[in-house]
């Protein structure tokens, strides 16, 4: 390969590498969901998931350092970035709480029906104590970032107790409202109360 050919090929290397990583993550997540649904979360070992995905155990932990729970639920960094972006990049005229309401309405148990796999996954998380606790921790782990972005957008102090309480309430909603018979109705009711309790936010 000439130097020119090599230079032309190099820009595509990261793209191929990212596609390969994404395919490995997808294979592991699919294998995990299948095994969890067949046998139950607690009855499946991480090594069995790696084997089912034809992947080394070490590779599994590179992609999912959080272990079994992380195979079903995306990582907290992605969640935090999406949450803060929803507030900062909200359409003109939307309040912070309206942006958060609409953001949550498109996630997890509140999202419009995305087919049988989505429904199975949500039921699995709600019915499995370890998964439900992990999902809750991913949301509440965003408290610092959410309080900070609310404060920035409202011109207030991020350490203000009122904003900390609001951030915590918002981040508890996926766990509290998500397990209700009608999750979306429970979410809407919760935000109606939050909007009355924190007018102007």
Res. 6: pLDDT tops 50: no
Res. 32: pLDDT tops 60: yes
This prediction has a pTM of 0.82
pLDDT digits (tens, 9 = 90+) for 96-143: 999 999 999 998 889 887 778 888 888 899 999 999 999 999 999 999
Percent pLDDT > 90 in the chain is: 68
105-114: Cβ within 8 A, 24+ apart? 105/184, 105/187, 107/174, 108/135, 108/174, 108/178, 109/174, 109/177, 109/178, 109/179, 109/183, 110/174, 110/177, 110/178, 110/183, 110/184, 110/187
pLDDT at 189: 97
Which residues, at least 6 apart from 117, have a Cβ–Cβ distance to it below 8 Å?
A: 33
**Residue recorded with tokens 């820009």:** 11
Average pLDDT, the chain: 89
- Mean pLDDT, rounded, for 33-43: 92
> H helices within the chain, ranges in order?
3-9, 12-39, 46-52, 57-63, 68-72, 76-88, 96-104, 116-127, 129-140, 143-154, 161-178, 183-197
Of 132, 140, 137, which Cα lies nearest the Cα of 179? 132
Of 103, 108, 101, 180, which Cα lies nearest the Cα of 138? 108
């Amino acid at each position: 390969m000439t130097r020119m050919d090599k230079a032309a090929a190099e820009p595509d290397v990261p793209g191929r590498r990212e596609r390969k990583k994404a395919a490995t993550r997808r294979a592991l997540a699919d294998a995990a969901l299948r095994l969890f649904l067949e046998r139950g979360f607690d009855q499946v070992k991480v090594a069995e998931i790696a084997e089912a995905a034809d992947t080394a155990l070490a590779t599994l932990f590179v992609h999912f350092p959080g272990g079994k729970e992380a195979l079903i639920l995306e990582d907290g960094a992605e969640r935090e970035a999406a949450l803060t972006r929803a507030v900062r990049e909200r359409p003109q005229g939307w309040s912070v709480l309206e942006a958060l309401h609409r953001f949550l309405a498109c996630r997890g148990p509140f999202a419009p029906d995305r087919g049988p796999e989505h429904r199975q996954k949500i039921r699995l998380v709600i019915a499995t104590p370890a998964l439900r606790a992990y999902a809750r921790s991913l949301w509440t782990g965003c408290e610092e970032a959410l309080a900070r972005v609310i404060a920035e957008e409202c011109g207030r102090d991020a350490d203000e107790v009122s904003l900390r309480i609001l951030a915590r309430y918002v981040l508890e909603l996926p766990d509290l409202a998500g397990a209700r018979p009608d999750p979306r109705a429970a979410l809407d009711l919760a935000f109606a109360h939050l909007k009355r309790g924190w007018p102007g936010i």
